[in-house]
Amino acid sequence: MGLKNSLHNFKEKNKNKKWIPAFNAIHTFLYLPNETTHNGTHIKVADDLKRTMNTVIMAMVPCLIFGMFNAGYQHHLALGEIQAVTGSFFSSEFWTMDNFLIGFWKILPLVIVSYGVGLGIEFIFAIINGHEVEEGYLVTGMLVPLIVPVDIPLWMLAVAVVFGVVIGKEVFGGTGMNILNPALTIRAFLFFAYPTWMSGDKVWVHGAVERDQMIAAGENLDAISGETILGALAQGKEFAYSVSDMFIGFIPGSIGETSTLLILLGGLFLIFSKVGSWRIMLSSALGAIAMGLIFNAVVDAGWITESSKFYGLMSTVWWHHLLIGGFAFGAVFMATDPVTASQTTKGKWIYGFLIGFISILIRVFNPAYPEGVMLAILLMNVFAPTIDHYIVKGNVKKRMKRVKAKVA
């Protein structure tokens, strides 16, 4: 009640009116939206923007926790201190407190910087423009730490968040007005501004650089260096991971993108809570499968030989593409963004299919950047309004024809 009374006094005394949006944001976060309807409505529902954002965050929490354990596990594996685990999700060598603590202390600063800088910018724009602070960044703030390398410098992340929130969101008018997914805008900025920190075999595992230094000093370490499966395949190398490793997530990669199992569970949670679009998720998978089958057919026909630089990823079994890289995470948590995705039913099928199709296309034909889901989603974000426009236009034409037929 103290905060509610303070808000009332704050408005009554009419002091520092420009700070009201920031005060309202704290009040809304702790209690309820400041403007609520008490009577006279036709329909009352329990969901609002804050609850929707919280639902998405809850779906990502398992990926975040798993990523903390995996960061510690990959660290010890890179240093040759443990043996690789395989086959079982409940492996006792993976779920250790030591693994968790290493990952926790590496990932927590990323979460703090993401939310601190992003929400700080949201507050600044709300105060300047005199509007309410929107909850849209709650999801973006969680997405960003899950799609970046674990050892990325915090200042780089802060600069990227500033760019992503200002250029990718606020210049369009804030939450609900942006045409690009803010989290992917942040990742795209990082990739093009600091490419050496976003690609290569030293950025996906905490301690991989330390391991190379130990090898240079003459120590014998038999473990991985941190290269992702996609990076190895793009260079024509073979990878030593089983299907169960890829599905469970015992592989190097971005913090939240390795465990396809937990991503699927998160996707099911979003579908049953009616927050995420199952049409976009399913059509994205179908698009990726279609492109994978085409590439496999090209290899089987003998049009591409092992000497080709495209052979590694092109010959990858079509359904493996769904388990490696960030495809599953992007299709479930970012392609389904209700603001930047297609809104029509038929448009969602087209939008999702093209995301999956283009993701694998970029993955294969750009060996320098074998992860194509980010660029595919951003590209389709731009074309989503066009897809919906022609879907609606086509529906209008069909209805007009039916009306003319009845009149005639």
pLDDT tens figures, 241-280:
889 999 999 988 889 999 999 999 999 999 999 999 999 9
Ranking 150-164, 207-221, 277-291 by mean pLDDT, the lowest is: 207-221
Q: Is the pLDDT of residue 1 over 70?
A: no
Residue 123 CB-density burial (10 A; 0-12 exposed, 13-18 middle, 19+ buried): middle
Distance CA 188, CA 237 (A): 26
Q: Is the pLDDT of residue 142 over 90?
A: yes
Q: Is the dihedral of CA 115, 117, 119, 120 positive or negative?
A: positive
CA-wise closest residue to 19 among 127, 134, 123, 128: 127
Q: Is the pLDDT of residue 324 over 80?
A: yes
Ranking 233-247, 265-279, 284-298, 328-342 by mean pLDDT, the lowest is: 233-247
Summarised one tens digit per residue, pLDDT across range 349-380 is 999 999 999 999 998 888 667 678 999 999 99
Q: Is the pLDDT of residue 325 over 50?
A: yes
Q: Is the pLDDT of residue 211 over 70?
A: no
The whole-model pTM stands at: 0.86
Predicted local distance difference test score (pLDDT) of residue 22 = 55
Cα separation values, 323 from 162, 204, 218, 229, 288, Å: 32, 17, 36, 10, 11
Summarised one tens digit per residue, pLDDT across range 168-199 is 888 887 777 788 999 999 999 998 898 888 77
Residue 298 CB-density burial (10 A; 0-12 exposed, 13-18 middle, 19+ buried): middle
CB 283 within 8 A of CB 348: yes
Summarised one tens digit per residue, pLDDT across range 391-402 is 999 999 988 888
Summarised one tens digit per residue, pLDDT across range 25-42 is 555 555 555 555 666 555
